[in-house]
DNA sequence: CACTCCTGTAGGAAGTTCCTACACCGCTAA
DNA sequence: TTAGCGGTGTAGGAACTTCCTACAGGAGTG
């Protein structure tokens, strides 16, 4: 298979954030989480998956050839713990950015240990996916990300909703209920194009990329409000 | 908020599979998995999320008002085990289809217990997401799904790849490396439309819906072949 | 030999994304 | 008070994707 030389021009309309491709290696035991996370992550076209494995040992073996720039690794693996593996990996390649996924929220003490070890960020499994992805992109060029992994339980969502204008909320509502754009336009008495404009604005304001995010957001918002 | 009456016509081009909307309730402890699974699931527009919670008790409380047709519930919850919760839920509403997510592969013995309890299917966290989603849609109308949760470790992927024709493989390869359609067309010396046709055919053959699935598939295929 | 299936090729309709435009309104700074 | 700025309601254009249809030629098969 002849390798594909990456065209000098970026492939998105504009390759906005940071440098070049994010070369990702993922180490997670359970397929379900790994798969669904990867589907999520691979939606971003600056990510290139260079490898994945279930165990720490397999990871160390493959890292030599896979040359990732970011390693996403679970804390608890079958054969080892992620911290140990990460340390080994960092010993070989200190410029690797490691993002650790912990099973539980991280205490300040543990966080300090991780940072000491050269890990760039820690995300717990109790955090939203977007948090993971945001962190992933954040650390991609070597920055350390000490997230707000303690604060803001939900208010962020509320604030985001407040930021929507009246018309935007109507559209968000209707879109979240899966009413087709066509019908939304009809119902509001405006053109499809206008609805699309609202959609764009909503997505920008909330930082979303696809419909499921909006649906989930709206669902949770109503719930948070209703109870 | 005035409720939106669902239009009598389906919203996809054709509402192919089965009945009406799949009303889903999800109970999972960890936000990361729940979120990423939901994003995945909500990509399918016949799914309507009617609620979610982290604990068994919260689930039982909300089931009364949420009236889901399918309950997706983790086996191990913070406060209870999924089986117990499911039994309670089924006692109230026997027509509910329950899909249990177990942490480990399910033995035949355990499977029997689950079926006995009225659970429609069990998926373990070691299985691929697609398996979960397939199962979800399968049980939605009350069928029991006793998956092939023991066999075929990987060969399915191999077979699927075999099914692609030469040209299709080329295109799949290039698409998986994120080369834009335009460039693929140029490289192969055919029109963009033709490339789209290949893309469609590939996706149909492999049963995929979006690019990340293909990327992952190709990555794994090469890996499986390379090692 | 006729029939059917697969493969390579492509077109059309409708929908989506991304970007731009513009009028209006309210607020602020000079 | 007027000029400017930012947000809101509205919409258009270009480019791209998705879904569906079409068709010719080869391979296999009854």
A50-78 pLDDT, tens digit per residue, is 999 999 999 999 999 999 999 999 999 99
Contacts of B174 in chain A (CB under 8 A): 4
Q: What pLDDT shows up at residue A141?
A: 82
**How large is the greatest C-alpha to C-alpha distance in chain B, in angstroms?**
62
Is the model's pLDDT at A29 over the cut of 80?
yes
Beta-carbon contacts of B7 under 8 Å, excluding residues fewer than 6 positions away, are A179, A183
Reduce the DSSP state of residue A157 to 3 states and report it.
Answer: helix
Q: What pLDDT shows up at residue A223?
A: 76
A9 versus B107: the higher-pLDDT residue is B107
User: pLDDT tens digits, residue range B176-195?
Assistant: 999 999 999 999 999 999 99
Distances (CA, A) of A86 to A59, A69, A122: 10, 13, 12
Q: What pLDDT shows up at residue B125?
A: 96
Residue of A nearest to B209 (CA): A39
Q: Report the predicted TM-score, pTM, of the whole model to 2 decimal places.
A: 0.88
Is the model's pLDDT at A122 over the cut of 90?
yes
Contact A145, A139 (CB under 8 A): yes
Q: Scan residues 163-182 of chain A and list those with Cβ within 7 Å of strand C.
A: 180-182
Average pLDDT over residues A130-152: 80
Smallest CA–C1' separation from B180, nucleotide: D16
Is the model's pLDDT at A203 over the cut of 60?
yes
Is the model's pLDDT at A38 over the cut of 80?
yes
What is the distance in angstroms between the CA of the first residue and the CA of the last residue of chain A? 57
- Distance in angstroms: CA A214, C1' D3: 39
Whole-angstrom Cα distance, residue A142 to residue A120?
Answer: 7
Helix (H) or strand (E) holding A49: strand A47-53
Structural tokens at position A122: 């820690």
Q: What pLDDT shows up at residue A145?
A: 80
Smallest CA–C1' separation from B167, nucleotide: C8
Residue of B nearest to A52 (CA): B220
Q: What pLDDT shows up at residue B5?
A: 37
Q: What pLDDT shows up at residue B152?
A: 53
* Residue A36 burial (CB count, 10 A): 26
Instruction: Kindly list the averaged pLDDT for each block of 10 residues, start to end, along chain B of length 227.
Output: 38 47 95 96 95 96 94 95 95 95 91 93 94 93 71 64 91 96 95 96 94 95 66
Q: What pLDDT shows up at residue B153?
A: 52
Question: A127 vs chain B: nearest CA distance in angstroms?
Answer: 6
Beta-carbon contacts of B132 under 8 Å, excluding residues fewer than 6 positions away, are A32, B37, B99, B101, B123
Could you give the percent of chain A with pLDDT greater than 90?
Answer: 73
Q: What pLDDT shows up at residue A225?
A: 56
């Amino acid at each position: 298979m002849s390798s594909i030389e990456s065209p000098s021009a970026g492939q998105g309309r504009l390759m906005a954030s940071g440098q070049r491709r994010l070369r990702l290696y993922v180490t997670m035991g359970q397929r379900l989480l790994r798969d669904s996370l990867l589907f999520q992550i691979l939606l971003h076209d600056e990510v290139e998956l260079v490898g994945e494995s279930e165990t720490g040992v397999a990871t160390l073996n493959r890292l030599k050839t896979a040359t990732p720039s970011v390693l996403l690794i679970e804390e608890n693996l079958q054969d080892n713990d992620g911290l140990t593996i990460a340390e080994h990996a960092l010993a070989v390649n200190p410029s690797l950015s490691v993002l650790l996924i912990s099973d539980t929220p991280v205490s300040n003490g543990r966080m300090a240990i991780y940072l000491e070890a050269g890990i760039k960020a820690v995300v717990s499994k109790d955090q939203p996916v977007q948090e993971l992805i945001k962190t992933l992109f954040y650390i991609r060029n070597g920055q350390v990300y000490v997230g707000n992994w303690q604060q803001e339980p939900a208010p962020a969502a509320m604030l985001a909703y407040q930021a929507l204008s009246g018309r935007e909320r109507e559209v968000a509502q209707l879109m979240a209920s899966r009413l087709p754009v066509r019908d939304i336009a009809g119902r509001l008495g405006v053109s499809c194009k206008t609805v699309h404009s609202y959609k764009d604005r909503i997505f920008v304001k909330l930082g979303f990329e696809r419909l499921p995010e909006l649906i989930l957001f709206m669902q949770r918002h109503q719930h948070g409000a209703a109870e």
